[in-house]
Amino acid sequence: TQPEPLKIMISGAPASGKGTQCELITKKYGLVHIAAGDLLRAEVTAGSENGKRAKEYMEKGQLVPNEIVVMMVKDRLLQPDSQQHGWLLDGYPRSSSQAKALEDLGIHPDLFILLDVPEELLVERVVGRRLDPVTGRIYHLTYFPPETEEIAARLTQRFDDTEEKVKLRLQTHSQNVEDVLSIYKDATVKACDTWLTFQIINGSVPKDDVFVQIDSALTKLLEQKKAASASV
């Protein structure tokens, strides 16, 4: 039988590098990237009622209420492409109730990754971040500058990427992170003979070095899945 596709969650503080690593992971592993923040920004841009409400919270660096976020993420996870190719869930869950909403549907990750970056690096990463609206790529004025003048001229900045707002986002993150981690750390213990694992990755090194650590965890996981499906 075919091994089941990978199901990965990636979490970490604002600007810890989740989106950057997701670009590298999807390129190599072909998983469907589902980013809660991107789904919300798409609603904001569309000017929908949910988008208008979500923006009020995002402006303050607070969690958007569950009745908006949970349904959005669930719907995307249950689409045929996510089921077929596997998924990479970025920035969700951010609270125990969000984790529970997935558990209730029987949706568990194979691997929960936490990108660990000291707080003093995060503000600089946020303030220097720029986005290419054409390709969706993430740049940084110092660490990952655009390749051409043409790209440089069209780069945009996110509305919540100011020093003041990132401090609020960091506060929200530190209030919630332990709750979420405890769920997946406990699950790791309970499911130690299945695949669910929890891994802390050092996110303070250059992005390719961060990816080497993630790549090695994913390769191992895929091998385990292949071995399991071969033995069925």
Active site residue ranges: 18, 94, 129, 158, 169
Q: Assess 20 for contact with ligand AP5 (CB under 6 A).
A: yes
Number of residues engaging ligand AP5 in binding (CB under 6 A)? 34
Q: Assess 50 for contact with ligand AP5 (CB under 6 A).
A: no
State how far the alpha carbon of 105 is from the alpha carbons of 71, 74, 102, in Å. 12, 9, 5
Site string for ligand AP5, 78-117 (x = CB under 6 A): -------------xx-x---x-------------------
Contacts of residue 8, defined as CB under 8 A and 6 or more positions apart, other chains included, come to 25, 31, 86, 87, 88, 89, 109, 110, 111, 113, 218
Q: Assess 187 for contact with ligand AP5 (CB under 6 A).
A: no
Residues 117-176 contacting ligand AP5, CB under 6 A = 125, 128-129, 138-140, 143-144, 169
Kindly tell me which residue out of 8, 58, 102, 214 binds ligand AP5, with binding defined by CB under 6 A.
Answer: 58
Q: Assess 76 for contact with ligand AP5 (CB under 6 A).
A: no
For residues 110 and 226, is the Cβ–Cβ distance under 8 A? no
Kindly tell me which residue out of 8, 25, 64, 111 binds ligand AP5, with binding defined by CB under 6 A.
Answer: 64
3-state secondary structure of 120: helix
CA nearest neighbour of 170 among 13, 62, 38: 13
Interface segment toward ligand AP5; rule CB under 6 A; list 32-40, 74-82, 192-200, 224-232 = 32-40
For residues 90 and 10, is the Cβ–Cβ distance under 8 A? yes
For residues 95 and 184, is the Cβ–Cβ distance under 8 A? no
CA–CA separation, 218 and 181 (whole Å)? 19
Interface residue list for ligand AP5 (CB under 6 A): 12, 14-20, 36-37, 40, 57-58, 61-64, 69, 91-92, 94, 98, 125, 128-129, 138-140, 143-144, 169, 206-207, 210
